[in-house]
Amino acid sequence: MPRQVVILGSTGSIGCSTLDVIAQHPERFSVLALTAGRQVEKLLQQCLVFNPRFAALLLESDARWLREQLAISGCKTEVLVGEATFAELAGHTDADIVMAAIVGAAGLLPTLAAVKQGKTVLLANKEALVMSGELFIDAVKQHQAILLPIDSEHNAIFQCLPPALQAHSYQGSLPQAGISKILLTGSGGPFRQTDLALFDQITPEQAVAHPNWTMGRKISVDSATMMNKGLEFIEARWLFNCQPQDIEVVLHPQSIIHSMVQYSDGSVLAQLGNPDMRTPIAHALAFPERIASNVKPLDFFSLGSFTFARPEPERYPCLGLAIDACRHGQGATTALNAANEVAVEAFLQQQISFTAIAKLNALCLARFASHHASQLDDILALDAESRAYAQQQLRNFVQ
Ligand SMILES: NC(=O)C1=CN([C@@H]2O[C@H](COP(=O)(O)OP(=O)(O)OC[C@H]3O[C@@H](n4cnc5c(N)ncnc54)[C@H](OP(=O)(O)O)[C@@H]3O)[C@@H](O)[C@H]2O)C=CC1
Ligand SMILES: CC(=O)[C@@H](O)[C@H](O)COP(=O)(O)O
Ligand SMILES: [Mn+2]
């Protein structure tokens, strides 16, 4: 029997890559449910191709249109509406695998719902873990969910762990496995060599033009500020049960090495591949087996040289803020994530400059760094409070 997959955020970059891999393996996977935000036409096309039992989206007006179009095409997909239905589908009795690929804090509740039903959860939505770290991992343990990282770096690190540790990486001991450090690689984004004096003039279109990866707009801006690497630093802290001092960020502009694990005997294991998310997606969908992904194989004879560097703190202030937040604890990371979502959206709407993103994040972190948030209600309240504060402070940066 094919394993039944729910894709949260099917209309996004990760959602589409997941469907691409699933389409290559109809004997292994079938689509139980797709969820989207606003891209109703794309969702319709996906329903016509994959014929899921359910499709869900945010607005009643979109749902009405989708139902009409599906009826015209004779497609029997049942259409549901509203955020609560994403969580229902994520925890559906018939779901075997849940791909968590909604962007931002909106992904937390549906992803947690999948965890609480003990599903195999493929985690792309790093913001969910950054917002709720310990609570999320405790839920994974309590409900015996299987958590597999999709983020390319964390998937690479996972692949470089000893198999015994892979089974419970979020509660194992890296030192007992002989691991001395996690080397988290990052490209440095599109502005790695841009004159700092020009940073105020950076436009959204320049910021979303990642040199190596094609991704959604929010994560692309995060890569440009290196907040993405900061969020990934916090993500790694929870996924691999380690402390900030166990993780080092290494710039690797080519994005061919997706991260590395350093062992105490001097060995360093790395995972390499062309920058294409279908590799980690295929890895996690089939784990522990391997399946084809249609990703172009690496050709070592045409690869240029690999380079490595330390990130410059003045070029990437968001990275430093995220590492500080990780040291402070849960309240700080929840508040920083929320502030960053507000700041990135304001930048994309051309309300604030590129450099204002870090300034706004710094203000929110300073205000909420010592706040505590361990229960879900506290986390959601702090997320809301930090967003409100960021919105209020935003006025000082409007250009
Ligand atoms: N893209 C990549 O290569 C990588 C992405 N990730 C992570 O994966 C996640 C998804 O990223 P990506 O695919 O690039 O993002 P996209 O912006 O391309 O897609 C986001 C998806 O989430 C949906 N969505 C947005 N807002 C809401 C909401 N409020 N409620 C429900 N659904 C919503 C969108 O729906 P719609 O478009 O219909 O409005 C879309 O399906 C992010 O957390 C990102 O950090 C991690 C590593 C790599
Ligand atoms: C593909 C993926 O996992 C992204 O998170 C990627 O890491 C972005 O590239 P940066 O290294 O520039 O953040
Ligand atoms: Mn990544």
Q: Is the CB of 218 under 6 A from ligand 2?
A: no
Domain definitions of the chain by residue range: 3-149, 167-270+304-395
- Mean pLDDT of the region 188-215: 98
Out of 208, 219, 220, 231, mutate this one to test ligand 2's pocket (max ligand atoms within 8 Å of CB): namely 219
Q: Is 232 annotated as a binding residue?
A: yes
CA-proximal residue: ligand 2, atom 2 (nearest): 152
- 379 Cα distance to chain centroid: 19
Separation of CA 52 and ligand 3 centre (Å): 28
1 contacts: CB under 8 Å, gap ≥ 6: none
Out of 193, 212, 228, mutate this one to test ligand 2's pocket (max ligand atoms within 8 Å of CB): namely 228
- Mean pLDDT of the region 229-245: 98
Separation of CA 281 and ligand 1 centre (Å): 15
Whether 100 has a pLDDT exceeding 90, the answer reads yes
Q: Are 119 and 95 in contact (CB under 8 A)?
A: yes
Q: Is 68 annotated as a binding residue?
A: no
270 contacts: CB under 8 Å, gap ≥ 6: 156, 160, 257, 258, 259, 260, 261
- Helices 217-225 and 317-328: angle between axes, nearest 10 degrees: 90
Kindly list the protein residues whose Cβ atom lies closer than 6 A to any atom of ligand 1.
9-15, 36-39, 58, 101-103, 106, 124-127, 151, 213, 215-216, 218-219, 277
What DSSP string describes 74-131? T--PEEEESHHHHHHHHT-TT-SEEEE---SGGGHHHHHHHHHTT-EEEE--HHHHHH
Separation of CA 330 and ligand 3 centre (Å): 21
In this structure, are strands 97-100 and 78-81 parallel, antiparallel, or unpaired?
A: unpaired
The 3-class secondary structure across 203-256, one letter per residue, is: CHHHHCCCCCCCCCHHHHHHHHHCHHHHHHHHHHHHHCCCCHHHEEEEECCCCC
Angle value at C-alpha 281, between 30 and 10, nearest 5 degrees: 60
Q: Is 187 annotated as a binding residue?
A: yes
- Mean pLDDT of the region 78-91: 98
Q: Are 15 and 35 in contact (CB under 8 A)?
A: no
3-149 CATH, one of 3.30.1330.10, 3.40.50.2300, 3.40.30.10, 3.40.50.720: 3.40.50.720
pLDDT at 390: 98
Confidence of residue 214 (pLDDT cuts 50, 70, 90): very high
- Mean pLDDT of the region 175-199: 98
Confidence of residue 399 (pLDDT cuts 50, 70, 90): confident
- Mean pLDDT of the region 215-227: 98
279 contacts: CB under 8 Å, gap ≥ 6: 152, 155, 273, 293, 295
Q: Is the CB of 229 under 6 A from ligand 2?
A: yes
Nearest bound ligand to CA 7? 1
* Residues in a beta bridge with 262: 181, 268
- Helices 330-348 and 227-239: angle between axes, nearest 10 degrees: 150
Confidence of residue 110 (pLDDT cuts 50, 70, 90): very high
Sheet holding 54-57, edge to edge: 78-81, 54-57, 29-35, 3-8, 97-100, 120-123, 146-149
Whether 10 has a pLDDT exceeding 90, the answer reads yes
Separation of CA 114 and ligand 3 centre (Å): 22
- Helices 330-348 and 317-328: angle between axes, nearest 10 degrees: 150
pLDDT at 167: 87
**Per-residue model confidence as pLDDT tens digits over 164-183:** 999 888 999 999 999 999 99
Out of 18, 152, 191, mutate this one to test ligand 2's pocket (max ligand atoms within 8 Å of CB): namely 152
Tokens, residue 252: 């690797």
Confidence of residue 342 (pLDDT cuts 50, 70, 90): very high
pLDDT at 252: 98
* Residues in a beta bridge with 100: 8, 123
Please tell me whether residue 332 adopts helix, strand or coil conformation: helix
Q: Is 210 annotated as a binding residue?
A: yes
CA distance 255 to 357: 24
- Mean pLDDT of the region 95-108: 98
Whether 8 has a pLDDT exceeding 90, the answer reads yes
What is the enclosing helix (H) or strand (E) of 65? Answer: helix 60-73
Confidence of residue 318 (pLDDT cuts 50, 70, 90): very high
Separation of CA 399 and ligand 3 centre (Å): 31
**Per-residue model confidence as pLDDT tens digits over 269-293:** 999 999 999 999 999 999 999 999 9
Confidence of residue 121 (pLDDT cuts 50, 70, 90): very high
Q: Is 359 annotated as a binding residue?
A: no
Whether 332 has a pLDDT exceeding 90, the answer reads yes
Separation of CA 231 and ligand 2 centre (Å): 11
Whether 26 has a pLDDT exceeding 90, the answer reads yes
State what percent of residues in the chain have pLDDT above 90.
99
Instruction: Give ipTM to 2 decimals.
Output: 0.99
Ion ligand 3 residue ranges (Cβ < 5 Å): 151-153
What average pLDDT does the structure give for the chain?
A: 98
CATH class entry, domain 167-270+304-395: mainly alpha
Q: Is 229 annotated as a binding residue?
A: yes
Whether 58 has a pLDDT exceeding 90, the answer reads yes
